[in-house]
Amino acid sequence: MRFLLTREQSDFARSLDAMLTSADTPAVVRAWESGDHGPGREVWRRVAEAGVFALAVPEEHEGVGLLPVELVVAFRELGRHAVPGPYVETVAAAVLLAGSPGLAKEWLPRIAAGRAMVTLAEEGGYALDADAAEAVFVLGARPAVLPPGGALRVSSDAARRLFAVTPAAGAGEALPVPVASVVAARESAMLLTAAQALGVGDALLARTVSYVKQRTQFGTPIGSFQAVKHRLADTLVGLEFARPLVYGAALSRAGADVAAAKVTAGEAAYAAGRTALQLHGAVGYTQELDLSLWLRKTGPLRDAWGRPGDCRGRVLEG
Amino acid sequence: MDLDFSAEQDAFRAEARAWLAARVPEGPLPSLETEEGFAAHREWEARLAADRWSVVSWPEEYGGRGADIFQWLIFEEEYFAAGAPGRVSQNGINLLAPTLFDHATDEQRARVLPSMATGEVVWAQAWSEPESGSDLASLRSTAVRTPGGWLLSGQKTWSSRAAFADRAFGIFRSDPDADRPHRGLTYLMFDLRAPGVTVRPIGRLDGKPAFAELFLDEVFVPDEDVIGEAGRGWRIAMSTTGNERGLMLRSPGRFLAAAGRLARDWRTYGDPADTAVRDRVADALIGARAYQLFTWANASRFAAGETIGAESSLNKVFWSEYDIALHETALELMGSDGELADGKWAEGYVFALAGPIYAGTNEIQRDIIAERLLGLPKGRR
């Protein structure tokens, strides 16, 4: 028993953090929002170079995985830096496609190398960033692959570009994947969304802590007021008790554990967002401040790939 | 990173489980906040001690098994899962004993620890005073030098278990001229039946005498009952309060067992259509798992040679709020029976309500989290 990241895992997080910090991700997000995928694809390439997609692909298909703990480490960093794009969906699609030898051979080496950006959606739902992806994989009673396209629906997080999976999805090409792969893909998406939410929450807390240290009112930093301190303390408690659930679920990969991690990380990040907004005051309510890039994610990430009520139901099923 | 227990750890778990399965009393003992319950719990603790299960983390020479932190966590999981009784000796075991291991003489350890392990001597903590709660440095009761020892005078309050306990420990102002309020304090042990001690039980919310006021009028304490150096009581006490907030007070086993009971009750009494209650039951299960994993992470850090400092304040805020939420959910689930004072969750609920107050109020814990973990500036309280 050693429920602690190894030195290699911590180093991996640090190197991703350094790379993403130098990539100026806020500018990347703003470009992605307007449909300019260029800077986002450049980040995607560097994330692939760092080996992130390979963590989701077995060795026989030119990956190094499946390594869920390392993936969680990576997705927390992607969340901390608000990186736009269908990262969760591409990795979950790799898990889905691994269930079919033919599809695995066709797709996984390209996904591992970062050459294939794909997306994944529930039947009847929205496909994230389908305009940037080369294929849309659809989960449901009859898993299928669709060509990308459709009408853009703007998410409340403008960096999440949504495309309706048309009711005529049945027209897509059916995928020969077993039910177990569909379940595993959903659980991967759920776990990595939780990790991403945790990173978003961590970033919101860190930005708010540094803001309340320098913002003064009544002649003193607002961070010295007990009402402010206590909200931030509660935010940290929420995140620090979500964190072990996310890593624990990566290790056990039990459905109930993954659902518990998803609901808890999602709620903790959402609460971190509410606190961040309140303590930044009116300036936090503006689009110009980079804080907004993280704030707008908290609702969608809480509800994507497992809404809180569904996750809680799943926990009680055991 | 892994969650796998070793073969030795599994064997330890199996041994504890078998022992408990054969000996845990059927049905609950009377409340340990009553005289009758105190006696019944002492008997149970003596039985535990006879097979060296009462203080597994202590060295063998004092009746323990030299268990490491993971074995301790495993034992606690098994203990609560078996439905074993709450521990009447917990104040001594969790608060005084760690202090003795760190600061006492060999003679003191040999004299005090064995009878604590068997429940023969039950210890009460005597920290708070009427004007001194979270601001412990403001305490006023005094220890005055006298030949061969000290004379204690003053008033202590909220002394848990003191209504029926045998001895107590606390800090006293031994140098009223010290330049700072937390200097000139001395840590002492004293007899609750010594001349000059008056114990006045205080009824808790539910009427049970779960704590007491102590009035001390020149109570003689021999030098041998001073812990550490006279005048250094503050530093010694701080190491104890860290224990109180941190790992050793609330093992995850207790909450895992309680959440498991709640989930079983939900399956028996719950209305599947009532998703509001269902969600809270799920949150209780999730919270227990989160607390268990958080503790394992801290234990892993501890085993790797790191120390756990202000992080214990995160722990304290979490479990104390969690405990209340769990019990509130249980009472709502029980419907009109939830109101009954002798109901199956009632005493646990009253006990849980005290969690955010004792061991340093949660307001103080949040200040510690904000200042020491988040680096926010000190400010007006």
ipTM score: 0.96
For residues A93 and A190, the answer to whether their CB atoms sit within 8 Å is no
Separation of alpha carbons A179 and B322, rounded Å: 37
Judged by a CB distance cut-off of 8 A, whether residue B13 touches chain A is: no
Which residues on chain B are in Cβ contact (under 8 Å) with A230?
363, 366-367, 370
User: Strand A152-154's sheet: what is its strand order?
Assistant: A126-128, A161-164, A152-154
> How far away is chain A from the Cα of B94, in angstroms, using its nearest Cα?
24
> Look-up: residue for tokens 């190398």?
A113
Cross-chain CB nearest to B367 (options A229, A242, A243): A229
Does the structure show a pLDDT above 60 at A169? no
- Give residue B381's pLDDT: 57
Q: Is the dihedral of CA A79, A83, A85, A91 positive or negative?
A: negative
- Give residue A167's pLDDT: 61
Q: How confident is the model at residue B245 (pLDDT cuts 50, 70, 90)?
A: low
Cross-chain CB nearest to A224 (options B286, B297, B379): B379
Beta strands in chain B (DSSP E): 123-125, 142-146, 149-160, 167-173, 185-191, 197-202, 211-222, 226-227
Does the structure show a pLDDT above 70 at A74? yes
What distances in angstroms separate CA A274 from CA A195, A233, A291, B251, B337, one per listed residue? 19, 14, 12, 31, 37
- As a whole number, mean pLDDT of residues A151-170 equals 85
Which residues on chain B are in Cβ contact (under 8 Å) with A315?
282, 285-286
- As a whole number, mean pLDDT of residues A46-53 equals 98
Contact B293 A245 (CB under 8 A): yes
Output the average pLDDT for chain A.
96
Q: How confident is the model at residue A210 (pLDDT cuts 50, 70, 90)?
A: very high
- Give residue B133's pLDDT: 78
Output the average pLDDT for chain B.
93
Contact B297 A220 (CB under 8 A): no
Q: Is B244 a catalytic residue?
A: yes
Q: How confident is the model at residue B182 (pLDDT cuts 50, 70, 90)?
A: confident
DSSP state of B95: I
The pTM score is 0.96
Q: How many CB atoms lie within 10 A of CB A298?
A: 25
Residues of chain B with pLDDT > 70: what percent?
97
Of B212, B203, B103, residue with least CA distance to B163 = B212
Cross-chain CB nearest to B290 (options A6, A236, A264): A264
Does the structure show a pLDDT above 60 at B277? yes
Contact A247 B300 (CB under 8 A): no
- Give residue B242's pLDDT: 61
Single-letter amino acid, residue A203: A
Separation of alpha carbons A223 and A214, rounded Å: 8
Q: How confident is the model at residue B135 (pLDDT cuts 50, 70, 90)?
A: confident
Task: Name the region of B335 (left: φ>0; alpha: ψ -120 to 50; beta: rest).
Answer: left
Nearest chain B residue to A315 by CA distance is B282
- Give residue A273's pLDDT: 98
Surface of B (129-188) touching A: CB under 8 A: none
Does the structure show a pLDDT above 80 at B244? no
Least confident of B34-38, B249-253, B332-336: B249-253
Per residue in B136-153, pLDDT (tens digit) is 788 999 999 999 999 999
Q: Each residue of B79-94: b (16+ CB within 10 Å) or e?
A: bbbbebbbbbbbbbbb
Contact A251 B5 (CB under 8 A): no
- As a whole number, mean pLDDT of residues A162-166 equals 89
Separation of alpha carbons B72 and B199, rounded Å: 34
- As a whole number, mean pLDDT of residues B2-24 equals 97
Least confident of A15-29, B296-310, B358-372: B296-310
DSSP state of B122: -
Judged by a CB distance cut-off of 8 A, whether residue B194 touches chain A is: no
Separation of alpha carbons A117 and B226, rounded Å: 70
Contact B377 A257 (CB under 8 A): no
- Give residue B180's pLDDT: 84
Judged by a CB distance cut-off of 8 A, whether residue B1 touches chain A is: yes
Which residues on chain B are in Cβ contact (under 8 Å) with A235?
none
Contact B1 A69 (CB under 8 A): yes
Q: How confident is the model at residue B320 (pLDDT cuts 50, 70, 90)?
A: very high
> Look-up: residue for tokens 């390209």?
A110
- Give residue B155's pLDDT: 97
- As a whole number, mean pLDDT of residues A221-227 equals 97
- Which one of B74, B275, B281, B293 would you mutate to disrupt binding with A, by most A Cβ within 10 Å of its Cβ? B293
Per residue in A79-127, pLDDT (tens digit) is 999 999 999 999 999 999 999 999 999 999 999 999 999 999 999 899 9
Does the structure show a pLDDT above 80 at B262? yes
Q: How many CB atoms lie within 10 A of CB A35?
A: 10
